[in-house]
Amino acid sequence: MTGVYYFISDLHVGGDEQLEQVDFFDELLAFLQDLEESDEDAELIINGDAFGLWEFTEVKGPGKFDALLDRYPELFEQFEVTGREIPITLIPGNHDYELAAYPEYVERLAEYNVTLEQEVSIERTVGDSVVHVEHGMQEDPNNRIPDFGNPYANPPGYFVNRQITSRAGQPSDRGKYNWLKDIQAVTPMTEIPEWLVSNYFYREMSSWLRFSVVPFFLLFNIGVLYGAIFALDWFDVWSLPLTLVEELLGFFGPAGRLVELVLAGNLVVIVLILAISVPLAVFVLNVRKTLRRFGLVRPSTEREPVEKYLDRARDVFASEPRVAVYVYGHTHRPSVTGIDERLVVNTGTWLKCLPRVDPLLGVLPPVYYAAYQLNYFRLSATDDGDVLVEHEVIEEPDPDNETLLQRLLTRSPRRRRELPEKTVVNGSRERGPQPDRSAVTE
């Protein structure tokens, strides 16, 4: 019986043109080599989205496996070598859902010592307990597979991926920065429109246009403040702020009067924008309603996505008393969460993470800072039969490719909270996860 289990997920290896670039390729090979050279009685489990099969648009069905072999021969050679020493098990995610739909994939992967389990979930015994493993797409309305195993049962996310993500890899290198290929790292996918606007504004827009627009947007903020001060005086609520502003501008003579004229003009523009915004808001609400009907926008009243997976874990715990750890991926956010003496583990992603940071001033697009969080989880049994969950981070420098303007307009994103390096789940259920029973890191 295997004593140690390693978990990784969401590698998304493969895709058209620029999407075939794997930024962490060397680190992945090194990780597999380390497993090959270890003396442990171990198993590697890749719980979904190992490959980006959805991102291939010119190849269909099992032919995509040949495309993977052609582009990543070193990876499959390393799978074969590592697989001689320890079992490698793979379950399908949504981006490589076709692995579940064609029996040929089982045979082809077996040639490289990779066992494909064409199942939504699998389980492993660790100590006195059971570990339940899923990818997690079945809890995501946009990516839930309606008829698992049917090659034509594709969710809405599949069509969005083929029409947007896959095509983005083709022209990505034509931009001033090769950024469009990172669209596959944007989660949730409802962030894609703002991410596109952000990158156009900060990376592709003509420099002279961008730096002429920025002062206008910053002035807009001042204009809003001036409008509020003017309104307070107009409605006889508080006249002191306007009096102080007029006295301050008067101190600078003609220059102050010019500034006052600009502020007055800006106030007129703001009033016009507000007038236009009424019919525009009606249009936007109608568009959002349509997108929600197609399942492409999450209603604002819907709970945070992580709660869906925690509820799924609770259902598994309730139906299978021996399950001590629920493992999933899909959301690209590594986490460790204690629930009623059990543990929920999200295995994260090896793609870039793109935390969103809003500008400090001005009505400007948000900035998405690129970062890496390559990681894996190691589960093993203690001498007492408990489950030891260890989290390891593989160091990879962040790209640091944000422009100067992006850095000037935003604070650096807050540092990610560190996951506990070790957590113990008691197999007898007499005590909860330790040392942090409620640790959640997103």
pLDDT, mean over the chain: 85
**Which stretch of 21-35, 98-112, 226-240, 358-372 has the lowest confidence by average pLDDT?**
226-240
Using alpha carbons, select from 32, 56, 34 the residue that is nearest to residue 46: 32
- Quick one: which of 203, 145, 152, 166 has its CA closest to 365? 203
Question: What confidence score (pLDDT) does residue 274 get?
Answer: 67
Please tell me which residue, 214 or 2, carries the higher pLDDT value. 214
Q: Which of 172-176, 230-234, 363-367, 382-386 has the lowest mean pLDDT?
A: 172-176
What gap in Å lies between CA 239 and CA 235, rounded to an integer? 9
pLDDT of residue 344 exceeding 50? yes
What local confidence, expressed as pLDDT, does residue 301 receive? 43
**437 confidence band (pLDDT: 50, 70, 90):** very low
Q: How many helices (H) and strands (E) does the chain have?
A: 12, 14
The answer, yes or no, to whether residue 304 has pLDDT greater than 60, is no
Peptide bond into 146 cis (omega under 30): no
Q: How confident is the model at residue 315 (pLDDT cuts 50, 70, 90)?
A: very high
Per-residue pLDDT of 401-431, as tens digits, reads 888 888 888 888 766 667 899 999 986 544 4
d(CA 236, CA 296): 47
d(CA 46, CA 330): 12
pLDDT at position 411, please? 86
Residue-range domain boundaries for the chain: 4-188+304-425, 206-293
Q: How many whole angstroms separate alpha carbon 80 and alpha carbon 392?
A: 24
| Average pLDDT for 191-213 | 85
CATH class, range 4-188+304-425 = alpha beta
- What percent of the chain has pLDDT above 90? 45
pLDDT band at 439 (very low <50, low <70, confident <90, very high): very low
At 266 the pLDDT is 67
More confident position, 8 or 209: 8
Residue 434 pLDDT exceeds 50? no
pLDDT at 432: 46
Band (pLDDT 50/70/90 cuts) for residue 373 is confident
Taking residues 277-281, what's their average pLDDT?
72
**What distance in Å separates the CA atoms of residue 104 and residue 407, rounded to the nearest whole number?**
49
What pLDDT does residue 208 have? 81
Looking at the chain, the whole-number percentage of residues with pLDDT higher than 70 is 86
Highest mean pLDDT among 28-32, 225-229, 369-373: 28-32
- CA separation for the pair 24, 274 (Å, rounded): 47
| pLDDT in the model for residue 107 | 96
Most confident of 181-185, 307-311, 395-399: 307-311
What's the token pair of residue 301? 């009243």
Average pLDDT of the segment spanning 101-119: 96
pLDDT of residue 431: 41
Strand 375-381 vs strand 387-393: parallel, antiparallel, or unpaired? antiparallel
Sign of CA dihedral 307, 160, 203, 350: positive
How far apart, in whole angstroms, are the C-alpha atoms of residue 88 and residue 81?
A: 11
Q: What are phi and psi of 361, to 5 degrees?
A: -135, 150
What's residue 435's pLDDT?
46
pLDDT tens-place string over residues 124-158: 999 999 999 999 999 998 899 999 999 998 898 88
- Assess whether pLDDT exceeds 60 at residue 225: yes
Encode pLDDT of 320-332 as tens digits.
999 999 999 999 9
Residue 392 has pLDDT above 70, yes or no: yes
Between CA 152 and CA 164 the distance in angstroms is: 19
Backbone dihedral angles phi then psi of residue 176, each to the nearest 5 degrees: -65, -30
pLDDT above 90 for 350: yes
Local structure of 118: helix, strand or coil: coil
Are 350 and 28 in contact, with CB atoms under 8 Å apart? yes
